[in-house]
Amino acid sequence: MEITKKDIEHIAELAKLELTDKEKEIYGSQLKDILVWMKELNKADISKTEPASCSLGAENVLRDDIVEKFPDTAALLNNVPEKEFDFIKVEKVID
């Protein structure tokens, strides 16, 4: 597959990258090598291969989301600059 300088400039623009001419040449060559390798991978026979989401066989190890009250809320609120009732008061960040 042929990668043109215009292709590299377009990709760089999409990625918000400012590339020198030397970098465009280097990255163009690297991208071409990647696409050649992808073409090789597409030749592999995977018809008898099961889809896998994880090659390690790991399971979800996240804990349950349980709401717990902080044991010493009063001590915590004594350390904040502003509070309102049992809440930490912060400046508005969204108009």
Instruction: Please determine, for residue 7, whether its predicted confidence score (pLDDT) is greater than 80.
Output: yes
Residues whose CB is less than 8 angstroms from the CB of residue 24 and which lie 6 or more positions away in sequence, other chains included: 5, 8, 9, 12
DSSP code at position 83: E
Q: Is 8 exposed, middle or buried (0-12, 13-18, 19+ CB in 10 A)?
A: buried
- C-alpha span between 28 and 9 (Å, rounded): 10
Q: What is the pLDDT of residue 34?
A: 94
For range 20-41, the mean pLDDT: 94
Structural domains for the chain: 5-41 (1.10.20)
Q: Summarize pLDDT for 34-89 with one digit per residue, the tens.
A: 999 999 999 999 999 888 776 676 677 788 889 888 888 888 889 999 998 888 89
